[in-house]
Amino acid sequence: MTAGTIMPYDEALERFEPVLGLETHVELGTRSKMFCGCKTTFGAPPNTQVCPTCLAFPGALPVANAQAIESTIRIGLALNCSIAEWCRFARKNYFYPDMPKNYQISQYDEPLCFDGYVDVEVDGKTVRIEIERVHLEEDTGKSTHVGGATGRIHGADYSIVDYNRAGIPLVEIVTKPIPGADRLAPEVARAYVTELREIMRSLGVSDVRMEEGSLRCDVNVSLMPRGSSEWGTRTETKNVNSLRSVERAVRSEIERQAAVLAGGGTITQETRHFHEDTGTTTSGRSKEEAQDYRYFPEPDLVPIAPDPAWVAELKAALPELPSVKRKRLQAEWGLSDLDMQAMHNADAIDLVEATVAAGAPAADARKWWMGELARKSNESGTPLADLPITPEQIARVTELVASGALNDKLAREVLEGVLAGEGTPDEVVERRGLKIVNDEGELSAIIDQVLADNADAAEKVRSGKIAAAGALVGGVMRASKGKADAARARQLILEKLGVSE
Amino acid sequence: MSLIRKTAAELGSMIAAGEVSAVEVAEAHLDRMAEVEPKVQAFLHVDREVTLEQARAVDARLRAGEKLGPLAGVPIAHKDIFTTRDMPTTAASKILEGWRPPYDATVTARLREAGLVILGKTNLDEFAMGSSTENSAYHPTHNPWDLTKVPGGSSGGSSAAVAAYEAPLSTGTDTGGSIRQPAAVTGIVGMKPTYGGSSRYGLIAFASSLDTPGPFARNVLDAALLHEAFSGYDPMDSTSIDAPVPSVVEAAKNPDVAGMRIGVVKEFAGEGYQAGVLARYHEAVQLLESLGAKVVEVSCPSFTTALPAYYLIAPSECSSNLARFDAMRYGLRVGDDGTRSAEEVMALTRAAGFGPEVKRRIMLGTYALSSGYYDAYYGQAQKVRTVIAREFEAAYQQVDVLVSPTTPTTAFPIGERADDPMAMYLADLCTIPSNLAGNAAMSVPCGLADEDGLPVGLQIMAPVLADDRCYRVGAAVEQALESRWGGSLLSKAPQL
């Protein structure tokens, strides 16, 4: 499969205008599956979380998970959707080995939530993304295709299926077409998925880990020539497994489609696969093979009819949503838009907030998370939140600095120790012996030794060349392994040499 | 009188009183089965030892003083469409040949809790699709009244087993008449409870919105006892109704129709109905009137459209329900020689594993649900279904129950309709409306047709959750007719 030609992004945007659409699947974090009592623990040995229902044994029946329905309604409310007063599940019929019933229980023309929106900030602008629908369905099993070059089913020697994932509740969130994002389309797509992820987190309905597949995104892109108002044919790119990939997939698809269109070709309505390594997409299933899913209302389940009073209660009990919270925190912390955006991009806001809640001043909390820890996160490729250090521990470090027990340099070492698994900040201070030397006797002894070892420099200072004291302070810091309070050492040196500044 | 001629209620009392053991009762029936099965062929699976083990366990529970229901120790023939842990479950299809389910259907579990002893799994039309049991992938079943005739279907193994005194009770499932029609043509009692009144969990699905488990027995009271034993709310079946089971046993014990309003469905008579069937039916209606019921004629014009609507809805659901038989996780697997893809193995397996009627319905249903045809077929059929339900509701404003012949004809010869699906489908003409509306309905014997001497059934239909009315009326008809006949209709059947 060739990568094909591409048109450079700037040129593509000069000639064409992109229209986006995003379909996002979120695996809900319910304890049991959507239609049976099986557990949903990630990473369990294959086919250990299965039963007659999720394996589609003859005679087995589904029973809807009430928690999943509640979570979906809360998601709908958080996305400003209307909630259906009455709706049904539907069967989506197609044969595939990882789908035990050979139909998926989903929703068709009666979604649980519909007509909502979410606002995202991109480049200082607010973009409103309209939500078409939010519906509930079940996940499929997971196939692994062994042998063959592509890792896909065609050309594989054989395939194995793990049904642990089959039947895990899945919420599908579909946007309306998003025109007008223009050259910011890749960033808008990314900002939208980021916002969804944070909303899910704040609702506590999913762990939304893209790398584990609990948040998956399909990206629809079409182009229309500048000046035209007729949308082009769209492609749907699947397998987009990180926020960065969402952005890259949109960009790459714009560049590819622009080249095809500019060369007089037409875009095929098809599914494409995104490749992390190259950042490009390749053709998957085309429309010629498109399925007729023969949707019909699921006769094994009764309709869902949420009591409007209950929906109102759920709405009233929604947590503060991320965008509202960001505005509040920005005001509380007195930060510029740019600083706040940087924290948002680094996924640091919740961490800073928790650190502040644990007693740290906002400025200090932000300094550590956005400085030292952001650096560690970049170096190790670990998301900030996954670093082995807690907001409480950062708060403790800022407390030790404020009390004078640590300086910034020592504090960095403490953080290093905590990250290396040496224990709590206090334990690291204890084990590494990192307390500032503020025992005057000990400091005095160190200074005496340094003065004796550097008689020339001492003499210069004594004779009035106070600038030479710097070298002596440096000697004290070295001798104390950085634990001395440099200002106090300088004071004592000058005292001992009988000079003043 | 030998044990096999006794009613289930009598056997239950004798076992409870210690007059006879469950093992002795089971042995008597197993012996009867050994004697007549070569002629009747009602069963697909019999395992004497598994059955006796169940009987011994019931005897032990009773000896230990455990309080069991009125049917403890009574044997039962179980339709081979309910999953059973200790016996294979095939739905009479090659695609499930030898399959041993890892779980019991709710109906099976409740039979066991009540202490019923399962004699074996009975034959049926493959996946319950048919009206003669000829569509079984294994063998046909013969009507004990005339071995050259069909026992009805799809639950023909269950009706034949009870009519042949192989079992006092049996289970069936009724999707379009699969309990009532076999009961009618074998001269026994068959009841389709209100949809949702009995659990579908572990019942291998044909058409989910229609399938209803129900009882067969040789008399109305026995049917009521079995109905009570396995019905009622099941949290494993979302469509089961969370309401008390109607007091069907009490109704069966009070055969009093004085003052009841009985509606005769005008549309179910006339052309296409066998004269002997209509004669017995009209006599039964006169009988009810003579017992003090108020009989009125009721018109339900949409009932004549029930058959086509049913043959769109049921196949549509079945085309989806049977998709799971794909050779991946259980059952038959054909062509998996390492050179073929999963899709090819699926296709070969389904081609080899399903019989012609099952394939016909899968294709009908797939077509009816297809994009561009859905509204004209499935969608339209659902509208007809709604209209039929409304006509029932309107009728029940005027009357307490509706009556009709259960079937247009008596049992037909094996092979006669096998190549004519439309003629076969007509066997369910009168029974289908109650399935579409989810109502309760029963068939009770009302005599023998003059022209062939074969049994005729009276259908009694009642509103949702008014199953007890079927039993009250059925018991009244049974009592009056049996006193006229000097015994049960079945006692007139020829000796096997």
**How would you classify the pairing of strands A270-275 and A235-240?**
parallel
Interface of B with A in 191-210 (CB under 8 A): 200-205, 207-209
Q: Helices then strands (H, E): number in chain B?
A: 16, 11
Residue A435 vs residue B470, higher pLDDT: B470
- Residue A339 corresponds to which tokens in the numbers above? 């600083």
- The answer to whether B120 and B76 are in contact (CB under 8 A) is no
What's chain A's average pLDDT? 91
B231 flagged as catalytic: no
**How confident is the model at residue A454, as a pLDDT?**
87
* C-alpha span between A105 and B183 (Å, rounded): 36
C-alpha distances in Å from residue A258, one per residue of A4, A181, A230, A245, A251: 12, 16, 16, 19, 11
The model's pTM: 0.89
Residues in chain A: 501
Rounded to the nearest 5 degrees, what angle is found at the Cα of B95, between the Cα atoms of B93 and B101? 90
Q: Does A93 touch chain B (CB under 8 A)?
A: yes
- Tell whether the model's pLDDT for residue A290 goes beyond 70: no
**How confident is the model at residue A2, as a pLDDT?**
43
pLDDT tens digits along B241-274: 999 999 999 999 999 999 999 999 999 988 889 9
Using the CB atoms, write b or e for B105-132: b if 16+ within 10 Å: bbbbbbbbebbbbbbbbbbbbbbbbbbb
- Tell whether the model's pLDDT for residue A287 goes beyond 60: no
- Within its chain, how far is the Cα of A374 from the centroid? 14
DSSP secondary structure letter of residue A385: G
Let me know if B378 is exposed, middle or buried by CB neighbors in 10 A (0-12, 13-18, 19+).
buried
Q: Domain B3-267+278-298+394-492: which topology?
A: Amidase signature (AS) enzymes (3.90.1300)
- The answer to whether A88 and A70 are in contact (CB under 8 A) is no
Task: List the single residue in B319, B329, B370 with the smallest CB-CB distance to A55.
Answer: B329
Inter-chain residue contact A102 with B96, CB threshold 8 Å: no
Chain B residues with CB-CB distance to A91 below 8 A: 320
* C-alpha span between B171 and B226 (Å, rounded): 9
- Tell whether the model's pLDDT for residue A153 goes beyond 80: no
**How confident is the model at residue A3, as a pLDDT?**
47
- Residues facing A391 on adjacent strands: none
Nearest to B330 by CA among B100, B82, B38: B100
* C-alpha span between A73 and A67 (Å, rounded): 10
Residue of A32, A61, A295 to mutate, interface with B, max B Cβ within 10 Å: A61
* C-alpha span between B127 and B135 (Å, rounded): 9
B178 flagged as catalytic: yes
* C-alpha span between B236 and B228 (Å, rounded): 18
Find the farthest-apart pair of alpha carbons in chain A and give their distance in angstroms, rounded: 100
Chain B residues with CB-CB distance to A95 below 8 A: 323, 326, 343, 346
Q: Domain residue spans in chain B? A: 3-267+278-298+394-492
Q: What's the CA dihedral at A386, A390, A393, A394 to 10 degrees?
A: 70
Residue B20 vs residue A438, higher pLDDT: B20
- Residues facing A92 on adjacent strands: A104
pLDDT tens digits along A154-173: 677 888 999 999 999 999 99
* C-alpha span between A173 and A170 (Å, rounded): 10
For residue A161, the number of C-alpha atoms closer than 13 Å in the C-beta half-sphere is: 15
Q: Phi and psi of B472, rounded to 5°?
A: -65, -50
Task: List the single residue in A93, A97, A299 with the smallest CB-CB distance to B328.
Answer: A97
**How confident is the model at residue A1, as a pLDDT?**
34
Q: Phi and psi of B77, rounded to 5°?
A: -95, 135
* C-alpha span between B172 and A435 (Å, rounded): 83
Q: Does B373 touch chain A (CB under 8 A)?
A: no
Inter-chain residue contact A63 with B238, CB threshold 8 Å: yes
Chain A residues with CB-CB distance to B204 below 8 A: 58-59
Q: For domain A440-496, give the CATH number.
A: 1.10.10.410
* C-alpha span between B350 and B358 (Å, rounded): 10
pLDDT tens digits along A299-357: 999 999 999 999 999 999 999 999 899 999 999 999 988 888 889 888 899 999 999 99
- Of the listed ranges A48-62, A399-413, B64-78, B402-416, the least confidently predicted one is A399-413
Chain B residues with CB-CB distance to A292 below 8 A: 370-371
Which DSSP string do the residues of A315-326 spell out, in sequence order? HHTPPPPHHHHH
User: Strand, helix or coil at A183?
Assistant: helix
First-to-last C-alpha distance (Å) of chain A: 75
Which DSSP string do the residues of B57-78 spell out, in sequence order? HHHHHHHTT----TTTT-EEEE
Looking up tokens 């494993």, which residue turns up?
B236
Q: Which residue of B has its CA nearest to A163?
A: B329
* C-alpha span between A31 and B44 (Å, rounded): 41
Confidence of residue A437 (pLDDT cuts 50, 70, 90): low
The identity of residue B463, as a single letter, is P
Mean pLDDT of A357-366: 92
Q: Domain residue spans in chain A? A: 9-313, 320-432, 440-496
What string of H, E and C letters represents the secondary structure of B288-343?
A: HHHCCCEEEEECCHHHHHHHHHHHHHHHHHHHHHHHHCCCCCCCCCCCCCCCCCHH
**How confident is the model at residue A492, as a pLDDT?**
85
- The answer to whether A61 and B209 are in contact (CB under 8 A) is no
- Residue A457 corresponds to which tokens in the numbers above? 């420099």
Smallest CA–CA distance, residue B209 to chain A, in Å, is: 5
Q: Which residue of A has its CA nearest to B108?
A: A59
Size of interface A-B (CB pairs under 8 A): 101
Inter-chain residue contact B320 with A93, CB threshold 8 Å: yes
Q: Phi and psi of A149, rounded to 5°?
A: -90, -30
- Residue B391 corresponds to which tokens in the numbers above? 């006509």
pLDDT per residue as tens, chain B (496 positions) = 699 999 999 999 999 999 999 999 999 999 999 999 999 999 999 999 999 999 999 999 999 999 999 999 999 999 999 999 999 999 999 999 999 999 999 999 999 999 999 999 999 999 999 999 999 999 999 999 999 999 999 999 999 999 999 999 999 999 999 999 999 999 999 999 999 999 999 999 999 999 999 999 999 999 999 999 999 999 999 999 999 999 999 999 999 999 999 999 999 988 889 999 999 999 999 999 999 999 999 999 999 999 999 999 999 999 999 999 999 999 999 999 988 988 999 999 999 999 999 999 999 999 999 999 999 999 999 999 999 999 999 999 999 999 999 999 999 999 999 889 888 899 999 999 999 999 999 999 999 999 999 999 999 999 999 999 999 999 999 999 999 999 999 999 999 9
- Residue A461 corresponds to which tokens in the numbers above? 């200072």
DSSP secondary structure letter of residue B13: H
- Within its chain, how far is the Cα of A344 from the centroid? 10
DSSP secondary structure letter of residue B272: T
Interface of B with A in 47-106 (CB under 8 A): 82-83, 89, 91, 96, 99, 101-103, 105
**Cβ contacts of A377 within 8 Å, gap of 6 or more:** A346, A383, A384, A387
Inter-chain residue contact B102 with A97, CB threshold 8 Å: no
* C-alpha span between B179 and B192 (Å, rounded): 7
* C-alpha span between A218 and A173 (Å, rounded): 10
Smallest CA–CA distance, residue A156 to chain B, in Å, is: 10
* C-alpha span between A277 and B84 (Å, rounded): 52
